[in-house]
Structure 1
């Protein structure tokens, strides 16, 4: 829903939210938008027992936001976006309880060069490589890679960030980001930097990305990444990868994505808890194939499979866990803004030695806790409205 700023401010002023001069903002255009996604989910094994529960925002995180633009003339515009994430079932704020925890930035957009923004933002890997995966495009959290170790499901949210996205030239778009630690005398303690590129030519889309986080929130809570914004507690998190999508026809698309994650001095994760023995190094290699078919303008289906190999090294020993993730989704649009969908996901983990526990337990992203075994299955039926 689009509202001229003057109209919006009149409405807000009438409710006591805003009491500012209207004429100063008359040239702005502001868009109010959001998503509400609510479903029922069955999980086969959560700490040894099956579970049926209501679940919020599995495919499209529940949100509302405002984004705006003002034309400054000469091909230059001011832009901003603030976006709130919440849990529909509880009404609680997501993203560590932040009011605008999903995004909050301001910047300048140039018709000649690109867009420069400042604030809390999505990183280049999420923007350009994520859309080539199933979970980063037409599916959601349940179809993510193991622990979302490569951030293609956008687990890492970045504060204190400066980002530049180029305009598209001959099919190429480039993006770079640097997020500050904001710590005096500790410039590299909890900073993030990354870059990505994407090429689009007809039926083919190719992308590559690199992302690195130095330090973590346990030593600098005000840095680029907080404890609520990341999957792993590690001294360093390094991710890189590439992928390709190819449109076989106007209705059928297939894709392949490879990513590598390299973690240093890892003590645990929000998904599996604390490691029995901290990992001096923990590596993940993810190989995903996916396919989507648009049966009709209002109905599509998709499948994905990801094989993940890990290398765990600690003072207690070495282990080589691996996982297989399979997922599928069908979606039917009741209207342009309202749809119903169903997702099925299955994960099988490998056996690991006791010193590498709990890496031998299955745990799908989007479930409450790990399985007590090497297998976990989830089935979700959800109702979604976009505005």
Structure 2
């Protein structure tokens, strides 16, 4: 009961502060924003059965946020952001036990020298590379690479993070982040590091990024005390006890009038340690293409295809392969409200490592919407129709 009360209190404080700051000074401001998104989903196979259900955040995650900045004089300003995700179909928080589960940070920013922020944050890997990848064009629910294996959707967030982001210079921006493990006597355990660079020169954009997550010392799977978390699905569940995970990805886009075409590639390595339930480094390579077309001012169409292949490791000779095709049709009723249709199909072949059960047949898990409800076989189709309102 405490967390809903805290959220109501935060809303009241933010609203009052916004009123006071607006009347007292033109140099500072606080704003409230968010998204309410709900739709009807159909999955052809969830653990062996078809399912039709109401789903929150299929096009954009349902959330509420508080954002503020204050001019400190000269080129310097203070800033903060608090963002909480919620499930519109039930009213529950997206992550129990964390009020501002999506983002929570404070920092200083200069147009000339860049920004330094501290708190729970997205990684430079996601912000710069993921912004050009499939889930930013298609929804991550069905457009993210299978199981969000490469973290290019918003699954990866880092606690205890200190981030520097440079200003844009001749189209180039860079960013680096360190997530403290905060373990006495061994800060490396549970720590993380990410760096990325992005170049934008219309009509082309390119980005390259790196992310490394280290496991904590407690537990047999991925430690809840590690600074960084990641999406766990049937695709990588057998490697959740990794000592560390390394992500490398690149993405590019080219815009021609109403058309956009893009490509992306990633390499993810699950590295074994003394506590890991597997012995050999497991590698997943993904290649993908995306395209979109602004048919009319209201209609926006997009499509994407990805191919994910695992390497042979840990006794697996028939290595897993996942191919996914996704489509989205988006109709804007206004600047803030839209209806949408989403379709995706994934095929899985080969074998992978299961959690505590050895080698298993690979099963389909579309995007990151089915991470907890994979197919019982190598095929899964997901269809969605919904309504999104931004405020």
Question: Which TM-score tier does this pair reach, normalised by the shorter chain?
Answer: 0.7 to 0.9
Is 2:208 aligned against 1:208?
yes
Measured after TM superposition, the shift of residue 187 of structure 1 is 1.0
Measured after TM superposition, the shift of residue 89 of structure 1 is 1.2
C-alpha distance 237-359 of structure 1, shift in aligned 2 (>3 A): farther
Q: Distance in 1 between matches of 2:70 and 2:262?
A: 38
Is 2:338 aligned against 1:339?
yes
Q: Distance in 1 between matches of 2:32 and 2:293?
A: 31
Q: Report matched runs for 1:158-237 at 5 Å.
A: 158-216=158-216, 218-219=218-219, 221-225=224-228, 230-231=231-232, 232-237=240-245
Partner of 1:130, secondary structure, is helix
Partner of 2:106, secondary structure, is strand
Measured after TM superposition, the shift of residue 356 of structure 1 is 5.5
C-alpha distance 297-24 of structure 1, shift in aligned 2 (>3 A): closer
Aligned partner of 1:264 among 271, 282, 299:
271
2:388 match: 384
Q: Report matched runs for 1:72-221 at 5 Å.
A: 72-216=72-216, 218-219=218-219, 221=224
Measured after TM superposition, the shift of residue 281 of structure 1 is 1.9
Counterpart contact for 1:281–1:312, Cα < 8 Å: no
Q: Distance in 2 between matches of 1:297 and 1:113?
A: 38
Counterpart contact for 2:286–2:309, Cα < 8 Å: yes
Q: Distance in 2 between matches of 1:319 and 1:77?
A: 55
Counterpart contact for 1:41–1:54, Cα < 8 Å: yes
Counterpart contact for 2:259–2:291, Cα < 8 Å: yes
Measured after TM superposition, the shift of residue 147 of structure 1 is 1.6
2:377 match: 373
C-alpha distance 301-13 of structure 1, shift in aligned 2 (>3 A): closer
**Superimposed CA distance per residue, residues 32-88 of structure 1 (whole angstroms, 9 cap, x where no aligned partner):** 000011000000011111000000012211100100000011110000000001111
Counterpart contact for 1:217–1:225, Cα < 8 Å: no
Counterpart contact for 1:130–1:137, Cα < 8 Å: no
Counterpart contact for 1:43–1:376, Cα < 8 Å: yes
TM-score of the pair, normalised by structure 2: 0.87
Measured after TM superposition, the shift of residue 358 of structure 1 is 4.0
Which deviates more, 35-44 or 277-286? 277-286
2:250 match: 242
Counterpart contact for 1:266–1:282, Cα < 8 Å: no
Measured after TM superposition, the shift of residue 159 of structure 1 is 0.4
Q: Distance in 2 between matches of 1:254 and 1:344?
A: 19
1:352 match: 351
Q: Distance in 2 between matches of 1:58 and 1:335?
A: 19
Partner of 2:161, secondary structure, is strand
C-alpha distance 306-104 of structure 1, shift in aligned 2 (>3 A): same
Counterpart contact for 1:240–1:260, Cα < 8 Å: yes
Structure 1 segments unaligned to the other structure (5+ residues)? 1-8, 268-274
Name the structure where strand makes up a greater proportion of residues.
Answer: 1
Measured after TM superposition, the shift of residue 217 of structure 1 is 7.4
Q: Distance in 2 between matches of 1:143 and 1:22?
A: 40
Q: Distance in 2 between matches of 1:24 and 1:300?
A: 40
Measured after TM superposition, the shift of residue 357 of structure 1 is 4.0
C-alpha distance 56-283 of structure 1, shift in aligned 2 (>3 A): same
1:6 match: none
Structure 2 segments unaligned to the other structure (5+ residues)? 1-8, 233-239
Which deviates more, 201-210 or 367-376? 367-376
Counterpart contact for 2:21–2:28, Cα < 8 Å: no
RMSD of Structure 2 on Structure 1 (CA): 2.7
Q: Distance in 2 between matches of 1:359 and 1:201?
A: 44
1:4 match: none
Q: Distance in 1 between matches of 2:378 and 2:319?
A: 15
